[in-house]
Amino acid sequence: MVFETVPIHPFYIIGISVRTTNQNGQAQADIGELWGRFLSQNLISQIPNKESNVIYCVYTDYESDYQGPYTTILGCRVSSLEAIPPGFTGITIPAATYQVYTSQGKLPECVGQTWNYIWQNAQNRKYSADFDVYDSQSQTPESATVKTYLSVN
């Protein structure tokens, strides 16, 4: 799988979160529920200081590596963390070098395939904050394009 390497400046995300693990398919269930809640309750409309409606799925607070517990935050990029609504979480995505992978195909399978590839092949992972970006190219679930950003040393 081909990737590009890019520097990213710090930015902010506000969204909803869940603590999960990749063990026994737990993350699939937990993150699926997070998406369901985010979309069915139109939580995107409650995020203050939104820069756009692009959705970020952030993976952070890793206990160890991809096999240990971590936090997933589903939300939007914002200009400030000053007004986080009750029940929401705010995070600063740190400045870092990121490997950018592109998933194309049916959601969520194509993104899952990218993560399986990363788990087996990625080296020099930082395990600080990784994220998937769901923009206008990911609106058609049968033929989506999603970018995955992996923080590296």
The structure's pTM equals 0.94
Q: Are 144 and 112 in contact (CB under 8 A)?
A: no
Residue 84's pLDDT is what? 96
Vertex 9, ends 8 and 11: CA angle to 5°? 110
Query: What does the pLDDT read at residue 141?
Result: 87
Task: Extract the residue ranges of the chain whose pLDDT is less than 50.
Answer: none
Tell me the C-alpha to C-alpha distance, in Å, between residue 96 and each of 64, 105, 153: 19, 28, 8
Joined tokens for residue 138: 């990911």
Task: Give residue 79's Cα distance to chain centre.
Answer: 18
The domain spanning residue 121 has which CATH number? 3.20.80.10
Q: Are 130 and 59 in contact (CB under 8 A)?
A: yes
* pLDDT for 66: 87
pLDDT tens, residue by residue, 90-115: 999 999 999 999 999 999 999 999 99
Note down the domain range covering 78. Answer: 3-152
Q: Give the SS3 label for residue 128.
A: coil
Q: Could you give the number of structural domains in the chain?
A: 1
Q: What is the pLDDT of residue 39?
A: 95
Cβ neighbours, 10 Å, residue 90: 19
